[in-house]
Amino acid sequence: MGILQLLTRKKAAVVQKDRPVPKHIAIILDGNGRWASKRGLPRTAGHAAGSENFRRIATYCKNIGVDYLTIYAFSTENWKRSQEEVSAIMGLLKQYLFEALDEMEKDHIRLRFFGDLSRLAPELQELAQKTLETSKKYDGFQTNVCLNYGGRDEIVRAARAFAQKCVAGECTPESLNEQVFSSYLDSAGIPDPELIIRPSGELRVSNFLLWQSAYSEYYFTNVLWPDFTEEELEKAIASFNRRNRRFGGV
């Protein structure tokens, strides 16, 4: 382990002493467009600011000992936006994946993707594949990027994959239970998020992690995503820590 990693781990341990930290946090990156409009800027400037903020928050999550950060970067519905906006978001993602490849070698972070990547440009698919391959070497902090993702679409794809196996004689409908079904989802092997954050004042789930959020705690705030600072994240964690999670018990 490098000296930098040792220092990072030490920092995480110190911060964790003060309060427990959710192992898996998920965030809907919402409010970029409004952030830009408020400043008389094009929506694409809001996405650029949102993607910068994602880097800050991901680094912070890593440093305080979060294991998984899942972000809703592009939904199955977001294709309805203008060509200009879609290309700007794809450009930002490409830039991030290039940077992530470097960061992986340095910090041993990992990337996973939730969503149907087959609709993405071949260049982006290749880059995603490369980051997945590199991630296999490491076991550090993991970011799950939801790309062309929809919770219903994920469940349908999982159901189809299971049905295909049954048709091929590799399993039977009776063998299906919650645990088996989870293993067909994009999130296979990853614990469910304990805390889901939605900034920008919207009080909707918007097709995000429908299966995985069964017992997640939600945190809503009016702050727009590009303005969502480390302090805002601490407020969300503090709110989470004040709650009594009963998982259906008493």
Half-sphere exposure of 186 (CA within 13 A, CB side): 27
**Is 64 or 93 the residue whose CB approaches ligand FPP more closely?**
93
Question: How is residue 193 annotated by DSSP?
Answer: P
Task: Please report how close the Cβ of residue 58 comes to ligand FPP at its closest, in angstroms.
Answer: 8
Residue with the shortest CB distance to ligand FPP: 33
Is position 78 annotated as part of the catalytic site? yes
Q: Is 177 a catalytic residue?
A: no
| Nearest approach, Cβ of residue 33 and ligand FPP (Å) | 2
For residue 210 the two structure tokens come to 């429908």
R_g over Cα of the chain = 19
Instruction: Indicate the pairing of strand 195-198 with strand 110-114.
Output: unpaired
Which is closer to ligand FPP, CB of 143 or CB of 216?
143
Written as one letter, the residue type at 189 is: G
In the complex with ligand FPP, the residue whose CB is nearer, 48 or 158, is 48
Task: Give the other-Cβ count within 10 Å of 17's Cβ.
Answer: 8
The answer to whether 121 and 152 have CB atoms below 8 angstroms apart is: no
Q: Which of 31, 115 has the CB closer to ligand FPP?
A: 31
Quote the tokens at residue 37. 């409009």
Contacts of 200 (CB under 8 A, 6+ apart): 30, 31, 34, 221, 222, 223, 224, 225
Catalytic residue among 63, 78, 207, 227: 78
Instruction: Please give the residue ranges that form the binding site for ligand FPP (CB under 6 A).
Output: 29-34, 47, 50-51, 54, 71, 73, 78, 89, 92-93, 96, 145, 200
The catalytic position among 30, 107, 153, 192 is: 30
Q: How far is the CB of 130 from ligand FPP (least distance, A)?
A: 16
DSSP 72: E
Taking the complex as a whole, how short is the minimal distance between the CB of residue 59 and ligand FPP, in angstroms?
Answer: 13
Active site residues: 30, 78
